A and B are shown apart, each in its own frame.
Chain A
Amino acid sequence: GAGVSQTPSNKVTEKGKYVELRCDPISGHTALYWYRQSLGQGPEFLIYFQGTGAADDSGLPNDRFFAVRPEGSVSTLKIQRTERGDSAVYLCASSYDRSGEQFFGPGTRLTVL
């Protein structure tokens, strides 16, 4: 079946702009995760959804970052007033349930000029 998909694959924006990154999880997976991977580093946890609700958003760096999952499937990560330091690959993962294997998407490479 189809894996986790993320769009766009690349996003270039200017400092101060607003961006939205989309994640389509594997069908039937109730848990969804966002990670951020900076160059040469491991993925860093941002937020976890169980169903429609954000069960753990402790990894969001500040209030410019926000994520939603209104129908318990697709999720959107929203970044306001982007800064150059936000440049990274944003990874989405999903799992059947909270304790299941996390399947990662290919990521969205965000570049803030």
Chain B
Amino acid sequence: QQQVKQSPQSLIVQKGGISIINCAYENTAFDYFPWYQQFPGKGPALLIAIRPDVSEKKEGRFTISFNKSAKQFSLHIMDSQPGDSATYFCAASLPYNTDKLIFGTGTRLQVFP
């Protein structure tokens, strides 16, 4: 019940295309859903985050869509660029345990020119 399931495991997109990564969770008590970007040899960096009181959040080319009833959330990267090539992780945490992020297994995105 504490897991966050992420798909696909890897994704290849052409430059200018849309990259979509999906996550699903079971625990309805989760109330914070961040996405992290990780480049090889680096630690994860927060990209964008959402709370369940909104269905969508957009920051530049990055959008989170949140479906509370389906217990799913997704990351959309518009106009994907080669510099977006990285591993992306979704995560979730509980309201009384915001320190403990529970991560998905990651999606390796490759954007080809």
Chain A contact residues, CB within 8 Å of chain B: 4, 31, 33, 35, 40-45, 48, 50, 55-56, 58-59, 91, 93, 98-99, 101-107
Contact = CB atoms under 8 A, between A and B. Distances in A.
A23 to B, nearest CB: 11
A77 B100 CA distance: 17
A107 B97 CA distance: 23
Interface of B: 6, 41-46, 89, 91, 97-106
A106 B41 contact: yes
A4 B44 CA distance: 12
B103 A42 contact: yes
Contacts of A98: 98-99
Contacts of B101: 35, 43, 45, 102
Nearest to A89: B43
